[in-house]
């Protein structure tokens, strides 16, 4: 790690679609994007590729440090500042695995070329998710027995890694370290994911949790307390560590979800309950993400509930979490995230930027509702939380039906596909159906990957943050 520059920089991602031509370019327009998820700082960014008529595309992307990102929906690529990644998409091949090849310069090229082969060879957990694997309802004892089997597979994989993987012959030491850590992270994530799928099946979580995760301490040095995870693991790994392995400690006292455990006490509890180090690297990452992804995100809720007594709540929470961060690179990311939060929170209107194609598409969508406050909800039929959210919004939509506010439900599903849900459930509002290409442009404009995703637009057509429909109506 000490030999690798961890500050951000530019990586070039370029590629081509085979065969090229105008028809292919039109087919892929709005459908290929670079998805960068910086879990440490709790940010993500989606950037569309412009597909030229000959089927080539290129993008200069700023990354905060060397990291995996997704060229959606094609492949995981490794992005290290200063490098170039080459992506070839041959749509004449029968499968995506055969049709996508990666190359490039420097560390990015080395790691990107190896990752898919390594995942297919050593990290294929698909059999564990087949219906037959879930036929027998687990008891606490059988869950723990299954955990032991999964941990034995992890240990066996570590033995293979230590013996030397043939795929890594000739690799640079840093590329080899990244790939080996990537494999360990994948196995750890899989074990946590297994717990996620069963911990709520009527088990006493308080009793089963420490027994399930007692495997972590003997393997902590390479599995959790390993700074290489910062540049080798991905969003899913850190998510599972935070919300499964560490959640009972980091999110204690959840009678009121605003208040978590005292951070210093939480880090000490890592020793008491799981025998982990109170300076564990992954625990520090999780604390920072708790601050950025939870406390910062719901600042308005906290301040409205706590009134004047704690108007410095955000600063207080940041200070508490900063006090337990000892790793210098995590602290650097923490300071950057806090600065970004202050800048964004102080802005009532999003900065004006040059008009893009995505802006034009959105202006066309909202033009019929000009002069109204707009509540915009991006959703799809395949998304259960989306449908539930629309059901929960029915009372508000009905209460505001005579006010200058419109509720726009935007989806890339067809009217026919949505009708079976919308009509029986009496979902009012403006239902707008766009193409998959237009959906891609909306994802880039509003920077979302998960749904439901909502936006507020004021009566002048400006995107607004840190406000509510009621506040915009008062204006």
CB-based contact 280:232 (threshold 8 Å): no
Q: For 440-465, write each residue's pLDDT tens digit.
A: 999 999 988 889 999 999 998 888 88
The three-class DSSP label of residue 315 is: helix
Q: Which of 146-150, 200-204, 206-210 has the highest mean pLDDT?
A: 146-150
- Does the structure show a pLDDT above 90 at 253? no
CB-based contact 393:407 (threshold 8 Å): yes
Give 256's pLDDT tier (boundaries 50, 70, 90).
very low
- Does the structure show a pLDDT above 60 at 33? yes
CB-based contact 2:48 (threshold 8 Å): no
The predicted structure's pLDDT at residue 469: 92
Measured CA to CA, the distance from residue 302 to residue 311 in angstroms comes to 9
What does the pLDDT average to over 352-368? 86
CATH of 357-474, one of 3.40.50.720, 3.30.2290.10, 3.40.30.10, 3.30.70.330: 3.40.30.10
Nearest partner of 411 among 384, 456, 442, judged by Cα? 442
The predicted structure's pLDDT at residue 311: 56
Give 257's pLDDT tier (boundaries 50, 70, 90).
very low
Nearest partner of 355 among 347, 368, 344, 364, judged by Cα? 364
Helices (H) and strands (E) in the chain, counts: 21, 13
| Whole-number percent of the chain with pLDDT over 70 | 88
CB-based contact 274:225 (threshold 8 Å): no
Q: For 373-395, write each residue's pLDDT tens digit.
A: 999 999 999 999 999 999 999 99
Mean pLDDT, rounded, of the chain: 86
φ and ψ at 438, to 5 degrees? Answer: -65, -35
Q: Where are the domains of the chain?
A: 9-106, 123-245, 263-346, 357-474
Q: For 328-358, write each residue's pLDDT tens digit.
A: 888 888 888 888 877 766 554 555 567 788 9
What does the pLDDT average to over 109-128? 92
What beta strand segments (E) does 297-402 contain?
A: 373-378
Question: Three-state SS across 52-90?
Answer: CCCCEEEEEEEECCCEEEEEECCEEEEECCCCEEEEEEE
Q: For 279-302, write each residue's pLDDT tens digit.
A: 899 999 988 888 887 677 665 555
- Does the structure show a pLDDT above 70 at 255? no
What does the pLDDT average to over 219-244? 93
């Amino acid at each position: 790690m000490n030999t690798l520059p961890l500050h951000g920089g530019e990586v070039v991602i370029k590629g081509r679609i085979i065969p090229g031509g105008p028809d292919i370019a039109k087919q892929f327009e709005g459908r290929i994007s670079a998805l960068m998820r910086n879990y440490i700082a709790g940010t993500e960014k989606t950037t569309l590729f412009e597909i030229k008529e000959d089927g080539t595309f290129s993008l200069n992307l700023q990354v905060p440090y060397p990291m995996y990102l997704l060229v959606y929906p094609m492949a995981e690529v490794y992005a290290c500042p200063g490098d170039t990644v080459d992506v070839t998409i041959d749509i004449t091949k029968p499968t995506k695995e055969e049709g996508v090849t990666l190359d490039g310069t420097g560390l990015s090229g080395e790691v990107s070329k190896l990752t898919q082969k390594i995942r297919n060879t050593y990290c294929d957990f698909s059999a564990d998710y087949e219906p037959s694997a879930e036929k027998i309802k687990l008891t606490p004892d059988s869950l723990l027995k299954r955990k032991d089997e999964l941990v034995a597979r992890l240990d066996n994989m570590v033995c293979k890694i230590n013996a030397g993987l043939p795929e890594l012959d000739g690799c640079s030491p840093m590329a080899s370290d990244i790939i080996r850590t990537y494999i360990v992270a994948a196995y750890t994530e899989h074990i946590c994911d297994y717990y996620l799928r069963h911990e709520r099946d009527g088990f006493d979580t308080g009793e089963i949790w420490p027994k399930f995760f007692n495997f972590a301490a003997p393997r902590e040095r390479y599995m959790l307390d390993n700074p290489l995870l910062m540049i080798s693991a991905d969003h899913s790994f850190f998510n599972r560590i935070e919300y499964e392995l560490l959640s009972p400690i980091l999110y204690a006292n959840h009678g009121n979800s605003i208040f978590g455990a005292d951070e210093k006490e939480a880090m000490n509890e890592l020793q008491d309950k799981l025998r982990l180090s109170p300076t564990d690297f992954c625990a520090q990452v999780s604390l920072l993400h708790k601050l950025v992804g939870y406390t910062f995100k719901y600042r308005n809720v906290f301040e409205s509930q706590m009134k004047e007594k704690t108007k410095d709540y955000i600063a207080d929470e940041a200070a508490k979490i900063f006090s337990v961060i000892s790793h210098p690179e995590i602290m650097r990311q923490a300071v950057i995230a806090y600065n970004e939060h202050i800048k964004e929170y102080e802005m009532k209107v999003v900065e004006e930027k040059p008009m893009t194609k995505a802006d034009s598409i959105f202006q066309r969508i909202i033009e019929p509702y000009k002069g109204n406050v707009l509540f915009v909800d991006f959703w799809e039929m395949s998304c259960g939380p989306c449908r539930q959210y629309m059901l929960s919004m029915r009372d508000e939509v009905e209460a505001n039906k005579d006010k200058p506010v419109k509720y726009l439900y935007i989806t890339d599903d067809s009217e026919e596909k949505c009708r079976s849900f919308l009509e029986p459930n009496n979902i009012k509002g403006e239902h707008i159906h766009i193409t998959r290409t237009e959906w891609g442009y909306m994802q880039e404009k509003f920077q979302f990957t998960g749904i439901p995703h909502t936006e507020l637009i004021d009566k002048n057509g400006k995107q607004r943050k840190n406000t509510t429909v009621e506040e915009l109506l008062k204006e």
